[in-house]
């Protein structure tokens, strides 16, 4: 498999965790989202993913998959051990809901493309952009904290897709100095996950394109 990735992309981070948990060997193809206006906008990457975003996963058969949650579902459906969702329908829905708080509500508003637009096109000061980022992370984390189950992981004693989404978001929140004192469950879940080799190997600083 071949993964088009950027070391700081939280969406790519999710997929790296998933690939590691499933035990896949994969080639990383770095796509720098900032340098030279974004290498993701180059024609050669647009040919891989017309949306010009990472991650993109090339399967052994040569098919290209985009969107992190779709890739994670594909990996889970084609290689079900270990599962990323609980067995029971209610628990599965709860796990998906937690994942979507991160992937659908927090992340899209704080993606690098959005932050660049705020700065370059809307001419916002960096202090205002930082306040925007903090606001949406804190609002989403308040909901996640209230809904997370007793640990060690987001949905109990098994890693689920919720954890795959949470850990990268916590990493970025720390990098951008979002205060986490109000979120002891989230901090505890993050610590428990990062004790697992699959999560640790997926950290941004452990990637071949880390700067």
What would the pLDDT profile of 53-73 be if each residue is shown by its tens digit? 999 999 999 999 999 999 999
Report whether 155 contacts 98 (CB < 8 A).
yes
* Cα radius of gyration (the chain): 17
Q: What is the pLDDT of residues 65-102, one digit of tens each?
A: 999 999 999 999 999 999 999 999 999 999 999 999 99
Task: Map residue 30 onto helix, strand or coil.
Answer: strand
Asked, for residue 205, whether it belongs to a domain, the answer is no
Does the pTM surpass 0.85? The reply is yes
User: Which tokens belong to 143?
Assistant: 């909901």
Q: Residue 155: its pLDDT value, please? A: 98
Which of the listed residues 24, 58, 82 is the one where a domain comes to its end? 82
Same domain, 74 and 135: no
Residue 115 banded pLDDT, cuts 50, 70, 90: very high
- Prior bond to 55 cis, omega within 30? yes
pLDDT of residue 151: 86
CATH code of the domain containing 106? 1.20.1050.10
Among 82, 101, 127, give the residue marking a domain's end: 82
Paired strand residues for 30: 5
| Domain tally, the chain | 2
Closest CA to 153 of 104, 209, 105, 83: 83
Kindly state whether residue 122 falls inside one of the protein's structural domains: yes
Where do runs of H (alpha helix) occur along the chain?
10-22, 43-46, 68-78, 89-100, 107-110, 112-120, 126-147, 161-175, 184-194, 197-201
Q: Confidence band (pLDDT; 50, 70, 90) for 41?
A: very high
Look at the block and give the residue holding tokens 């599965």: 92
Query: Taking 90 as the threshold, does the pLDDT of residue 211 lie above it?
Result: no
What is the distance, to the nearest Å, from the Cα of residue 32 to the centroid of all Cα atoms in its chain?
16
- CA-CA distance, 202 to 186, in Å (whole number)? 19
**Each residue of 129-148: pLDDT tens digit?**
999 999 999 999 999 999 99
Residue 57 placed within a domain: yes
Considering the domain boundaries, does residue 12 fall inside one?
yes
Q: Are residues 142 and 46 in the same domain?
A: no
- pLDDT digits over 144-180, tens only? 999 999 989 999 999 999 999 999 999 999 999 999 9
d(CA 165, CA 156): 15
- Of 57, 82, 107, the position where a domain reaches its end is 82
Residue with tokens 């950027």: 6
pLDDT surpassing 90 at residue 208: yes
Q: Can you tell me whether residue 5 is helix, strand or coil? A: strand
């Amino acid at each position: 498999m071949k993964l088009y990735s950027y070391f700081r992309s939280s969406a790519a981070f999710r997929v790296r965790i998933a690939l590691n948990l499933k035990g896949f060997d994969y080639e990383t193809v770095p796509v720098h989202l900032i340098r030279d206006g974004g290498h993701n906008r180059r024609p050669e990457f647009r040919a891989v993913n017309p949306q010009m975003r990472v991650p993109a996963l090339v399967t052994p058969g040569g098919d290209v998959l985009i969107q992190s949650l779709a890739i994670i579902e594909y990996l889970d459906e084609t290689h079900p051990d270990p599962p990323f969702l609980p067995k029971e329908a209610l628990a599965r829905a709860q796990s998906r809901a937690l994942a979507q708080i991160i992937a659908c509500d927090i992340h899209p508003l704080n993606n690098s493309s959005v932050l660049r637009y705020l700065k370059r096109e809307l001419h916002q000061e960096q202090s205002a952009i930082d306040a925007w980022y903090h606001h949406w992370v804190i609002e989403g984390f308040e909901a996640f904290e209230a809904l997370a189950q007793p640990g060690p992981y987001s949905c109990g004693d098994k890693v689920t897709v919720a954890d795959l989404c949470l850990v990268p978001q916590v990493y970025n929140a720390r990098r951008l100095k979002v205060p986490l004192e109000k979120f002891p469950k989230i901090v505890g879940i993050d610590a428990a996950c990062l004790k697992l080799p699959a999560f640790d190997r997926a950290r941004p600083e452990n990637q071949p394109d880390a700067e």
